[in-house]
Amino acid sequence: MRSPLVPLCCATCALAACIHIEVTPSSPPADTAAVAPAEASDAWYRAGDETLRSALARNMSDEPARNVILFIGDGMSLSTVTAARILEGQLRGQPGEENMLSFERLPWTGLSKTYSVNAQVSDSASTATAMLTGVKTKSEVLGVSAEITPNDCASALAHPMPTLLEIAEDAGLATGVVTTTRITHATPASTYAHTANRDWESDADMPPGAHDCEDTARQLVDLAHGDGVDVALGGGRVEFMPATTVDPEYPETRGARQDGRDLVQAWLQRYGKRGAYVWNSAQLATLDRGNGQHVLGLFEPSHMRFEVERAKDVAGEPSLTQMTRAAIELLRGRGGKGFFLLVEGGRIDHAHHAGNGYRALHETIEFSNAVRAAMEMTNASETLIVVTADHSHVFDMGGYPARGNPILGKVRSYGANGEPEPEDAKDLLGLPYTTLSHANGPGYEGASDVQGEGPKRFPHEPESAKPARGRSDLGGVDTTAPDYLQEAPVPLASETHSGTDVPVYASGPAAHLLTGAYEQNYIFHVMRHALRL
């Protein structure tokens, strides 16, 4: 058995666009990865010394922030960050390990503890509520304190907690929410909603007796703080459309609402000439971004497409980066005292639940692109940028692959001479295995057509079936294929969250307060302090 101190990692596969990122002093020059270790020693040493100098020169500013942008990579565990970092580098033709995602270059880092009041492994509703209200609460509820009785409308009405977006609105700041999920989904809804059940997204989702409470979509449109949310971009059109209305993009799809309300029209009526609604990328691109509009953008009936499939959308939907750029321009166009913006890379989580590393890593790379755009568009001296996750996933990498091994591929280790082996590594059954895996989920043997005979193909969850025994022989399987599901020893229809801590990266005013390990709700207090609210 090899020592656990041997070199780590692996590397590979897929994204649509490769974006150049220059190497900073915190990593060796890219060409050092191609030379022998002895030749590269001086470069590694110099890079380490330069990183130290950069750290010593960090500015611990506690001046007030004009703007705060909170980026949440839903389900973006530390292992997801590492694997996505390698994949992005490999897409540029590099070994990958030396690469850094945009937010890994932010100067301050910490660790956030993600458990909820009643769960060791939490959900997105409780974790997002912690970051947006400053208190931990129970799982599956939004914008309410831990005194809540889940699924009880009266209890939710009795225990609301003000969110940072609401506080910012009351103080006269502009506010925005951007996501690749439904805009009424747990994480984006944590900025404006207070509900005893995160799934009450429209009135059609609410049980009898709960209609004294407003559904999540209504709470967004009717928000009674400041002048309401200024920019809301994401998916989820059906939650805003009455059941009699046909979707503008898919004629076979109708709205979900049973109360007859057209919330898109309600948005436009509320804001009059200052109101705008868009549902495709062309409309978003042609918006006047400097006239102080309130913009509602709903680009899919439900969640938006995965980034690797976005180009297939006939009507055209914007990327997370495009939405982030638009939101910042729109919020700046309102002038005033500054802004608060939440940006969620929500489909990282969905890909992991499906057991699909390919899409999870590509979503993470696009999330990094969005952070880079925000860094380019804002002044670090006046904007606090916080990048984190709401929770982890049971996703990991291992197996002693050689440097530069495709991250989505099968493990090929290094031999006694330190060079990569010519054949795949084998387990005790004589079978090859991958660098990446999930601890549970749909990726058990036979769950995917890519792996062999299986009930259904990604992105659909497998039908109930008795799992086969033993492992699949991956010898002839392309594990870098978009639909391949990483192996999972515990068969579940949907892979689960993890309870491990998540990373926090930050820059700007008060960013130095986010170092160390802390409870997740602390992030709210730092952001509020930065804005002096």
Distance of alpha carbon 180 from alpha carbon 363, whole angstroms: 10
* pLDDT reported for residue 47: 81
Tell me what the pLDDT averaged over the chain comes to.
Answer: 89
Q: What is the pTM of this model?
A: 0.89
Distance of alpha carbon 290 from alpha carbon 134, whole angstroms: 33
Q: Among 290-299, 457-466, 491-500, which is the least confidently predicted range?
A: 457-466
For residue 1, pLDDT beyond 80: no
What 3-state DSSP class applies to 248? Answer: coil
Domain architecture of the chain: domains with CATH = 67-394+496-531 (3.40.720.10)
Let me know the angle formed at the C-alpha of 409 by 405 and 413, rounded to the nearest 5 degrees: 45
* pLDDT reported for residue 6: 28
Yes or no: say if 206 and 200 are a contact pair by the CB < 8 Å rule.
yes
Distance of alpha carbon 460 from alpha carbon 483, whole angstroms: 11
If you search the block for the tokens 């609210």, which residue do you land on?
A: 533
Distance of alpha carbon 173 from alpha carbon 334, whole angstroms: 9
Distance of alpha carbon 429 from alpha carbon 263, whole angstroms: 58
For residue 80, pLDDT beyond 60: yes
Q: How confident is the model at residue 95 (pLDDT cuts 50, 70, 90)?
A: very high
Yes or no: say if 461 and 353 are a contact pair by the CB < 8 Å rule.
no
At position 182, the amino acid (one-letter code) is R
CA distance from start to end of the chain:
56
Distance of alpha carbon 34 from alpha carbon 405, whole angstroms: 13
If you search the block for the tokens 């009135």, which residue do you land on?
A: 203
Distance of alpha carbon 409 from alpha carbon 361, whole angstroms: 13
What 3-state DSSP class applies to 90? Answer: helix
If you search the block for the tokens 């904007």, which residue do you land on?
A: 383
Which ranges of 64-189 would DSSP assign to H, the alpha helix?
A: 78-91, 124-133, 153-158, 164-170, 186-189
Let me know the angle formed at the C-alpha of 511 by 507 and 514, rounded to the nearest 5 degrees: 125
Each residue's pLDDT tens digit, 176-221: 999 999 999 999 999 999 999 999 999 999 999 898 999 999 999 9
For residue 525, pLDDT beyond 50: yes
Distance of alpha carbon 375 from alpha carbon 519, whole angstroms: 26
Q: How confident is the model at residue 450 (pLDDT cuts 50, 70, 90)?
A: low
Residue 25 CB burial class (10 angstroms; 0-12, 13-18, ≥19): middle
Distance of alpha carbon 361 from alpha carbon 84, whole angstroms: 5
Which ranges of 354-489 would DSSP assign to H, the alpha helix?
A: 357-377
* pLDDT reported for residue 245: 97
Yes or no: say if 380 and 68 are a contact pair by the CB < 8 Å rule.
no
Which ranges of 229-312 would DSSP assign to H, the alpha helix?
A: 263-271, 281-285
Q: What is the mean pLDDT of residues 403-419?
A: 96
Q: Above pLDDT 90, what percent of the chain?
A: 80
Distance of alpha carbon 225 from alpha carbon 213, whole angstroms: 17
What positions carry a catalytic annotation?
A: 124
Q: How far is CA 280 from CA 90, 178, 285, 316, in A?
A: 32, 15, 9, 6
Q: How confident is the model at residue 13 (pLDDT cuts 50, 70, 90)?
A: very low
Q: How confident is the model at residue 459 (pLDDT cuts 50, 70, 90)?
A: very low
Which ranges of 161-210 would DSSP assign to H, the alpha helix?
A: 164-170, 186-189
Q: How confident is the model at residue 446 (pLDDT cuts 50, 70, 90)?
A: low
Distance of alpha carbon 67 from alpha carbon 65, whole angstroms: 5
Each residue's pLDDT tens digit, 237-288: 999 999 999 999 999 999 999 999 999 999 999 999 999 999 999 999 999 8
The DSSP line for 14-48 is --S-----PPPTTS--GGGGGS-HHHHHHHHHHHH
What 3-state DSSP class applies to 484? Answer: coil
Yes or no: say if 73 and 387 are a contact pair by the CB < 8 Å rule.
yes
Residue 35's contacts (CB-CB under 8 Å, 6 or more residues apart) are none
Residue 263 per-residue DSSP state: H
* pLDDT reported for residue 456: 39
For residue 37, pLDDT beyond 50: no
Q: List, in sequence order, every residue forming a beta bridge with 405; answer none if it has no partner.
A: none
Distance of alpha carbon 309 from alpha carbon 140, whole angstroms: 29
